[in-house]
Chains A and B, each alone.
Chain A
Amino acid sequence: MRLITHNMLQCHVRGCNANNFPLELQEVVLEQEEAEMNEDFLRNMLGKLEYDALVATCHKLDINDLPVTLPEDAQYNEEFLQILHRIILETHVKSGKMVCPNCNHTYSIRDGIPNMLLAEHEV
């Protein structure tokens, strides 16, 4: 699972509607895998990302390359887009878990595939 995907996921247990994002990554194994740079895509995603949540998540993973606030010229800031690319598209969570800060539900990640299925009583 890439960090871009993590930024789009929230806890969806029945009744868990507040403080359910971002899911806290725990016991993760990370892997870097090179991918072609795609500026159009990054620009498309800039408005969709929750930037503060991304920075906070990265800090917990000890990735401190992102500026704390989104640069005003982010769309055309080459250097920034490169960093963003490396973090949200080239950093993979191979295994670990995601824990909801509100209800503590734990979603596991195995072989890079997050299991977001709910249990019977959570539907």
Chain B
Amino acid sequence: MPRFLIQFAQQHEEFRLPELEALATIENVQMTYNPDEYSLASPFLVVEVDSAENAASLLKRAILVKTIIELWGIGSSWDELIENVKKHPENWPQYLDTTFKFSVVTFGGTIEMKDKPEIINRFAFTGFMGKIDLKNPEEEFLLIADYGIDPNVTVAHTFYMGRLIGQGKRDLIDKFNVKKRQYIGNTTMDAELSLIMANQALCGPGKLVYDPFVGTGSFLVTCAHFGAMTMGSDIDGRQIRGKGKTSIRSNCEQYDLKGRVLDTLVFDVCHAPWRKINGGIFDAIVTDPPYGVRAGAKTLGRKDPSKQASEPRIAVEHGVFSHLLPDYIPPTKPYEMTEVVADLLMFAVKTLVRGGRLVYWLPTVTEDYTIDDLPSHPCMELISNCEQAFGQWSRRLITMEKVKEWDGEATLGPPTGDMNKSTMAPKQQGHFGFRDRYFSFGVVDNAKRKKELKDAFQKGGVEGVAAYMKQREEEKKQQQQQQDQQE
């Protein structure tokens, strides 16, 4: 099988392989690779695909793939690379007369402009006789030097040569950039992740995709961009209607997707009015549940169940039932994160078609998170679980696929963790009480700083404080550097 070299973007690393797998599924491409060769710390991966056409189809909607080349050789030096390329002269003849150009590309290092022609000339042995065309060549050949992500390394460790198959669709990130979008809210998902989610959900022509926490509708437009018909609902109608002239509708107009974004409705997903359809309604559910950091999740009802009305209430000043007033908004109560996620999963079990996907974000407290925290269901298979880390907390993009019909009975998986082994308080899931804990990170930190400052003052007065501040600055710098290196 022909080998191809994929160059990923060196960001959202955990999302890259799941997206690639999704692209292969969407395009029905047989692709194999050695998982041991893949590293989050490198943008390169060698894959085998049966044809260049099929490799090219992987690029049609790839967000995290930058380029794919048909691989003609690998080496640990230019010399070794040349030796290996020379072993397969059968690759060359069909490009003898095409217009072409060679480009020298580096990752994690630089090769000066003036040194590039010399490198390119060393590949003259291919004997291409076509015209060199730097602007619009029929074929482009890449010479890649990989220095790795360690900034202290100044020599490249791996060299690749190959024929360019094409570029991914990273330009879509700019097209859907939220800064250029007419209507956004403070929880609007960024364009890159929204697009990746549409891929994870296998969105495509003919499919119906639903977002039950639609907010300002990011996923409606990115999923529709790839051809799906989309619908959304939210308990908060103000989000859907937007402000003045900007709304979900105006976004659909902006991206010319009015024909594919079918409808947005106002309701609470715990009390959803979807008719039961045998075999399921939705081909995918793509959503970012409000996990309560900037906008707390809400469900219909009252916090105090004893105050919950069982009969219609009368609006005294109007003398009619209050729920019949045009601006009636029913009372809502907080919706705990573990419940939101459990309900979402059950909703997916009931409403997805077989083979349909659920793609959602799960926020977790990093130190408490274990894989057992993920709610499970016998009808749903976990496809991928990608972390986007933010220090003490992170969010995970969970992709699940409905693999069998629901029998109407099976419920969510058994309680997880080691609750039965321990006599201590049962372990809570890493997303339990997420909102409160998110806000306490800062509080704990601040209290600690205050105490340290006080100690420093008692020990060394003003100078002690200055020394402490200096020390803090340096710690921060170090942390920043570590983070930068990780990125």
Residues of A within 8 A of B (CB): 1-2, 4-5, 7-12, 21, 33-36, 38, 40-41, 43-45, 47-48, 50, 89, 106, 108, 111-123
Contacts and interface: CB of A to CB of B under 8 A. Distances in A.
Given A38-B206, A119-B330, A113 B275 contact: no
B266 A41 contact: no
A120 B302 contact: yes
18 contacts: A2-B263, A4-B262, A11-B273, A12-B271, A33-B258, A41-B207, A41-B208, A44-B206, A48-B277, A50-B275, A112-B249, A112-B263, A113-B263, A113-B265, A113-B266, A116-B273, A120-B308, A120-B313
Contact of B208 (A34, A44, A116): A44
A96 B301 CA distance: 26
Nearest to A36: B259
Contacts of A38: 205-206, 229, 260
B237 interface: yes
A120 B272 CA distance: 15
Interface string B291-307: 00000000011100000
Contacts of B206: 38, 40-41, 43-44
Given A33-B258, A113-B265, A40 B330 contact: no
Contacts of A34: 259
- Classify chain B: how many residues form its interface, as a range: 35 or more
Contact of B205 (A41, A45, A112): A41
Classify the interface of chain A: helix, strand, loop or mixed: loop
B275 A10 contact: yes
B277 A117 contact: no
A35 B300 contact: no
A38 B261 CA distance: 13
Contact of A12 (B262, B272, B311): B272
B274 interface: yes
Contacts of B258: 33, 35
Given A11-B273, A41-B229, A120-B309, A5 B302 contact: no
Interface string B61-95: 00000000000000000000000000000000000
B379 interface: no
A79 B263 CA distance: 25
Nearest to B275: A10
Interface in B220-256: 229, 231, 233, 235, 237, 240-241, 249
Nearest to A88: B262
B312 interface: yes
A113 to B, nearest CB: 6
Most buried by B among A36, A45, A106, A120: A120
8 smallest beta-carbon distances between A and B, as pairs: A40-B206, A119-B323, A35-B259, A116-B267, A12-B273, A5-B263, A10-B275, A116-B273
